[in-house]
Amino acid sequence: MILTVTLNTALDISYRVRSLRPHASHRVSEVLERPGGKGLNVARVLAALGHPVTVTGFAGGATGRAVQERLTGTPGVVDALLPVTGTTRRTIAVVDERTGDTTQLNEPGPTITPAEWSAFQEAYEDLLAGTDAVALCGSLPPGVPVGAYAGLVRTARAANVPVLLDTSGEPLRRAVAARPDVVKPNADELAELTGSHEPLRATQDARRRGARAVVASLGAEGLLAVTPEGRWRATPPAHVRGNPTGAGDSAVAGLLSGLVDRLPWPDRLARAAALSAATVAAPAAGEFDRGAYEQLLGQVAVTGEVTAA
């Protein structure tokens, strides 16, 4: 079983409009609602790949109930979200059909009380029993300590459970020092962490800060990985038009899937890059175009070298 942690869950709402214009009224052509937050997106992709997955984090209020109701209908996903008194946030994605661009609006999330945070830590430690890997994903809601992910990384390591971290800012900086097995920043998050905008140098620097392996998501340019076994770059065959929301989450799912399947790093990266590109082609975050994925998987170019640990 794979465990995904989403401390700031959301109800993802996607609007499609013909052309997004400032200061104008728009007619929405399509509305999609899905359980959201990075870890929930990861979980749905993992379940679609055939991996049993449990999701945990917080859910509260009418929005939290809507998230949990929709999770109930997701095959392969077990809901272990904890109730809170606050209301789960919403995220709004507005897709411009003319350009393919997406505008994202993210609410901050509910304020978590000290008692609710303590209850989560106890539940998390219990859930790690029998877990093959855990993903810690996304932003922290108000009230959760900035060092929360660092503590959760240490708890997973004490339980001998491999842990993948996908967050940003100060929570990322602190958690990297706790030595997660894999860190997956995007280019902006990597530059903020290291101060370098050169991808290879920044990725190597992030690994020196404590992560066992670093996989940087570089958008249309694919993935760059620096690991104890070597370093590689995975590049999709062509730019894919569509909604990029959730593409990084699908890359996380591919990396976790490859980890539990014990694939060598080049195969993990090819899977992650193909899933990421196939998600751009899908209409909603947390989904991927299976036909596009199967086609892209054999077309992703992986280059690199094996090095000493």
Q: In what order do the strands lie in the sheet with 230-235?
A: 77-83, 53-59, 2-6, 133-137, 163-166, 182-183, 213-217, 223-226, 230-235, 301-306
Residue 10's nearest CA partner among 58, 72, 42 is 58
Which among 81, 191, 86 is positioned nearest to 142, based on CA atoms?
Answer: 86
Give the helix/strand (H/E) hosting 225: strand 223-226
- Please, which residues bridge with residue 33 across strands? 13
What is the C-alpha to C-alpha distance for residues 178 and 147, in angstroms, rounded to an integer? 10
Q: Is 146 helix (H, G, I), strand (E, B) or coil?
A: coil
CA distance 281 to 161: 33
Q: Is 249 a catalytic residue?
A: yes
Do 168 and 189 contact (CB within 8 A), yes or no?
Answer: yes
Residue 132 identity: D
Beta bridge partners of 217: 186, 223
Distance CA 40, CA 37 (A): 6
Residue 239's SS3 state is coil
Cβ atoms 240, 281 nearer than 8 A: yes
Nearest Cα residue to 133 out of 154, 161, 105, 106: 161
Reported for 21-29, long-range contacts at CB under 8 A and 24+ positions apart, including other chains, are 29/97
Per the residue annotation, which of 249, 261, 267, 289 is the catalytic one? 249
Active site residues: 249
